[in-house]
Amino acid sequence: MIEKIEITDVNNPIISIYNSRAETALYRMNEPKPGIFIAETELVIRRALNAGYSPISMLTLKESLDNLSDLINDCDRAFISDDLLNSINIVNSNSSIYSDNLKVYYSDYEYLKEMLGFPLTRGVACAMQRKVLPNVDEVLKDAKNIAVLCDVENPTNVGTIFRSAAALNIDAVILYGSCSDPLYRRSLRGSMGCTFSIPWTFCKDLYAVKDKGYLFAAFALRDDSLTLSEFADIKTDKKAILLGNEGYGLSDEIISMCDNVVKIPMREGIDSLNVAVASGIAFYELSK
């Protein structure tokens, strides 16, 4: 059942998950069980629903209620089930965000902007329950070409890499080290919801990936390197593209465990590309 509630108090604690809790706090909300994330825009929310994520509540503009009626109804049909709710280890301080009905909070533009501190992206946001992440074996079961992100910390870069990976036939994404979470708001916006279209997980040991037979290619600015086309021409069933941190790239330790170093040629005087841009070029070449 859908319950529509107008917000008249910017300090209303019932919607604190939308405006006052940090991404890391949402991630850890129900530990040791999965926390929650916020999906913004109708496109991203629909892709999350299609991937089987369960809504908890919604926040939208008053003037958008009618236009979003189909989305609201779809969220109601996918509303967090009693079985899932009972499986979540909810501490007392978090129980207020869960309810027996899908709650749709709304207010006018200026009021929501004051409440959030920024305009609501395309008029709608949805709090959703995270899933237990699959393990590396599950993610890589049928994967041939994969991307391994090592300490990619900018959420927008992570999201953009996922968008390129999904579009250009990368089979899976592995995140290692201090990578930003793909379900953070900025990551999801950058991916346009493509995060839900490709298998992914976090990994604590890169050898757990390499030992499955992947040819590791470190993308680094080294002279003793292959060109991207040379790497793409290597005949092997499994290839892994390793992409590093925005500031310092891949560590020497990670590069030393790779089979090849690959460098994208650039004009003299330009020393590097943004990691998300580099990933798109690499994925395209590999997909050919």
Q: What is the dihedral of CA 160, 271, 283, 213, to 10 degrees?
A: -110
Query: How buried is 21 (Cβ within 10 angstroms: 0-12 exposed, 13-18 middle, 19+ buried)?
Result: middle
Biggest alpha carbon–alpha carbon distance for the chain:
63
Taking only Cα atoms into account, the Rg of the chain, rounded to an integer number of angstroms, comes to: 21
| Amino acid occupying residue 22 | A
For residues 235 and 100, the model is more confident at 235
Backbone angles phi, psi at 212, to 5 degrees: -90, 10
- Measured in whole angstroms, the distance separating CA 22 from the mean position of its chain's CA atoms is 16
Q: pLDDT-derived band of residue 279, with 50, 70 and 90 as boundaries?
A: very high
- The span from the CA of 276 to the CA of 146, in Å, is 15
- Is the confidence at residue 36, as pLDDT, over 80? yes
What is the pTM assigned to this prediction?
0.90
Give the model confidence (pLDDT) of 178-211 as tens digits: 999 999 999 999 999 999 999 999 999 999 999 9
Question: What pLDDT digit, counting tens, does each position of 147-189 carry?
Answer: 999 999 999 999 999 999 999 999 999 999 999 999 999 999 9
> What is the total residue count of the chain?
288
Residue 36: how many other CB atoms lie within 10 Å: 25
Query: Does the pLDDT at position 92 exceed 50?
Result: no
In angstroms, the Cα distances linking 79 to 26, 58, 83, 128 are 18, 11, 11, 9
Residue with more model confidence, 84 or 232? 232
Distance, in Å, from the CA atom of 238 to the CA atom of 255, rounded to the nearest integer, reads: 18
Q: What is the pLDDT of residue 96?
A: 67
What structural domains and CATH numbers belong to the chain? 2-129 (3.30.1330.30), 136-287 (3.40.1280.10)
Contact 287, 250 (CB under 8 A): no
* Residue 255 CB partners (closer than 8 Å, separation 6+): 218, 220, 222, 261
Going by DSSP bridges, is the β-strand pair 145-150/102-107 parallel, antiparallel, or unpaired? unpaired
Is 55:102 a contact under the CB 8 Å cutoff?
A: yes
User: What's the pLDDT at 128?
Assistant: 95
